[in-house]
Amino acid sequence: MQTLLERFLGYARFETKPDDTNPQSPSSLSQMLFAERLADELEHIGLKEVTLDGNGYLMATLPANCDHPGPVIGFIAHMDTSPEAPSADINPLVHPVYDGKEIVLNAERNIILSPAEFPELSKYIGQTLITTDGTTLLGADDKAGIAEIVTACEHLISNPSLKHGKIRIAFTPDEEIGRGADNFDVRRFGAEYAYTLDGGGIGELEYENFNAAAATVTVRGRSVHPGTAKDAMINSIMVSGVFDSLLPPKERPEHTSGYEGFFHLYDIRGGVEETVMKYIIRDHDPLKFSDRKRILTEAAEKTRGRFAGAVVDIAMRDQYFNMKEIIEANYHIIEAAVEAYRKAGIEPVIKPVRGGTDGSRLSFMGLPCPNLFTGGHNYHGRYEFIPLQSMEKAVEVIVNLCTSSNKTTK
């Protein structure tokens, strides 16, 4: 566990925030620098065919060491962290033998990780928790996934008596801004199927995800001196507020769970003349997903009708779709994961992803790719934490999948 802990802490401190205003891949230099560091590490631990392309996609091979290797399987995680929370100067805190009480993340700012607000903490009493220092996110989404994959590969290399087929691994950029699979070369990756390590708490196993779209709403008003603004000023900030109020108030992330979709306003910036709002739209049901996009368009039309002279433009794009139909046609890979979980002493919790993974798009690109847990909680914020023992179990699951891959057939 010490190796896994030190590896994850090193990864977490490496800032890899994406930039959705940059069309290049990767969208930020920091992701490429991190990929270069990872490439050196993969070669150092003994992986083969380590390649890093110009778009920031890192791939490597763990060669088969058995006579009947079976299918080539893959493991995938993403290098970027959420753009929704501070991610520079990450300072992870390690709390050995958690006692079940409140954890003071930052005394100066009175930021406390409390079991009263996050009752799942009670499941990890006696374990080692890794948290933020209250000023940034932690980045376990998805640095934990990377650490678990690398540690599993290192364990297999160090223990050649554990027989396995050919294993491919890949680390991708820009997943958090919906572009993680844009330049993924499925043919070059060469796996029959794969698993993303990008899930939440221990035991989660996911093969249904949201249909997803992103929308940028730009509101342009008219700036006039406030002393002479009567019947002349159009305050784009106020117009933006009206637009947002026209969306269903209970269909937001903070009011939804399970299969319920939502509209999420995650960024708003502007002044009197112009305000730009960024939304993500999510729903598991394809018909409801289409309806959500219609609701957003109608809200723009209604807002224009209320404010003569205001410009309300929407730029909307689909990001990914629900992979359920692809995985159900290849359900043997779920059965293999269930067996690997149970062999590790974990009862699988099969549930829909309230988010997305690279695997959703990769599944439609010909690489069936369900999602395994990493062990983390409260992703994308200051209250993020991950138990080290959950990470260790994720490593065990990966090893189990690798060593049983020669028995996995369609």
Catalytic positions are: 80, 175
Angle at 41 between CA 55 and CA 336, to 5 degrees: 80
Instruction: Write out the DSSP string of 163-196.
Output: ----EEEEEES-GGGT-TTTT--HHHH--SEEEE
Cα-Cα-Cα-Cα dihedral sign, residues 11, 12, 13, 16: positive
β partners of residue 94: 130
Rounded to an integer, what distance in angstroms lies between the CA atom of residue 391 and that of residue 1?
9
Which ranges in 218-331 belong to alpha helices (H)? 236-245, 286-306, 324-328
Phi-psi region of 239 (alpha: psi -120 to 50; beta: other; left: phi over 0): alpha
Helices (runs of H) and strands (runs of E) counted in the chain: 10, 17
Query: Is the backbone of residue 355 left (phi > 0), alpha (psi -120 to 50) or beta?
Result: left
